Amino acid sequence: MTANHHPANRRGRFLLALGLAFALAANGPLTPADLYGELFVRVQEAHVFDDGKAFADAVPHRAPDAIMADYRRSPPGDTEALRRFVLANFTVPGVNDTRQLPLRAHIRALWPQLVRQPEPQVAGGSKIPLPEPYIVPGGRFREIYYWDSYFTMLGLKVDGEQKLVESMLDDFVSLIDRFGHIPNGTRTYYISRSQPPFFALMLDLSDSDDSAVKAKRLAALRTEYRYWMAGAACATRAKPCANVVVMPDGSRLNRYWDERDTPRDESFAEDRATAAKVTDRPAAQTYRDLRAGAESGWDFSSRWLRDGKALTTIRTTDIVPVDLNALLYAMEERIARGCRDSGDNACFRDFTQAAAKRHKAVDKYLWQAGERRYADWDRVAAAPTPTLSAATLYPLFVGMASPAQAGKVAALTQAKLVAQGGLRTTLNRTGQQWDSPNGWAPLQWIAIDGLARYGHRALAHDIAARWIDTVARTYSGTGKMLEKYDVEERLPGGGGEYPLQDGFGWTNGVTSALLARYPDLDPDGAEK
């Protein structure tokens, strides 16, 4: 080894260079390398940008020490995450420096891009045609999705797109008329399951005064209810049937389920790989539970995992979920109301009683007073699951909590679920997309609306402010509206079976609805 390459000499040269840098810094402004240290080195050595001058010329969105504090607290794990971090915190010439529309105007400009028109059935294709125009989420989601659409419609309504709200309602009626329920999405491979039943709440967004239209939609809602309750005829305490579970006292609640027990068409290889690792039960049961997890919309989450960690322990069909039962309570209430308004007293009585029975069963089995939360129920263990999730706020959202229950949930939410960038989905880091650190637009709305409904307006506003800040930061850095976000670090989200999607229907809808409700949170100033 030559003297010139001896480690001690290399260290000496490094210290000399470092001392020179400090000396130069003392006599002039700090350079990006001085300011951003290890972040600068990592970006340049990883060639995050084709031209090394790009990051050297980048303009920070906030104080360098704040950026570096966030970087050191949670360094991005790979080059793509590093790029996302940089673009969320800097304007990089030639990358994200084009002039952007204000956030609200950007969303309004996106609606026409996400509209799809009716088209004919293609023989051999999987897409299910619809009779009226509709909105798709965006990215890989090229068809209408059931529960996504409610949150999209919230934004359409406040953005002056009521005609689209009505046409999407007509599309959902068409699906119920054809299939007896609203499928997960408009593909043939989605027909065997539904999604969280928001159709009843979608009807609240209608402006139609046409009595014939109202009657047709009420009939469709009752048909959808029969789909969810079809298993009542065969379910027993020992064995659920379809979507119905008989609880220990004989009351009936619901679960997520799927008619098929094969790998999902859209995730075929992934499902087979998961099932191949399971040794304690038939592959068909694993497939059924994966499919039921997809029906929940939370695909996937520690809520459905027996050990709270590994997808191979998925047991969705063993869980009685709080969100589904809250939504079915809302459906029963709205059917009762519609029947009352149409003069059908027998129907009004039956559905009023059904809602009351469900409310009583939810309070008995899902409300955990000592833990200040609504919990999912594990029917095999005959006990609440340990997973705290944002689903605990659904009973507030639909109005089935008492003021005392709402107060306890609000306190727990503030203590455990609120992160710097919005509402956490769960507290568990599993790598699944419906777990920490991700936050999702629909869960923000459900929490904010539910808390405000019970008078917890300051907390609702705080969650909205944190979420809008996350969305606005990411939009500023990337020019995109995303499917999910990391609410711990206020960055684009990650995890799950597929890459992060942009577009994005429900994020657009919830953002518009929140900015209409809280104009003081508009990052571009309240619109005139």
Catalytic residues: 299, 483
DSSP summary character for residue 232: G
User: Which amino acid is it at 101?
Assistant: L
Sign of CA dihedral 96, 101, 104, 108: negative
**C-alpha angle 493/82/425, rounded to 5°?**
20
CA distance 527 to 34: 40
DSSP summary character for residue 48: S
Burial class (CB in 10 A: 0-12, 13-18, 19+), 373: buried
CA distance 425 to 7: 49
User: 45-54 long-range CB contacts below 8 Å, 24 or more apart?
Assistant: 46/79, 46/82, 48/79, 48/82, 48/83, 48/86, 49/92, 49/95, 51/94, 54/92, 54/93, 54/94, 54/95
CA distance 522 to 446: 20
Alpha helices, H only, 90-179: 103-114, 146-158, 162-179
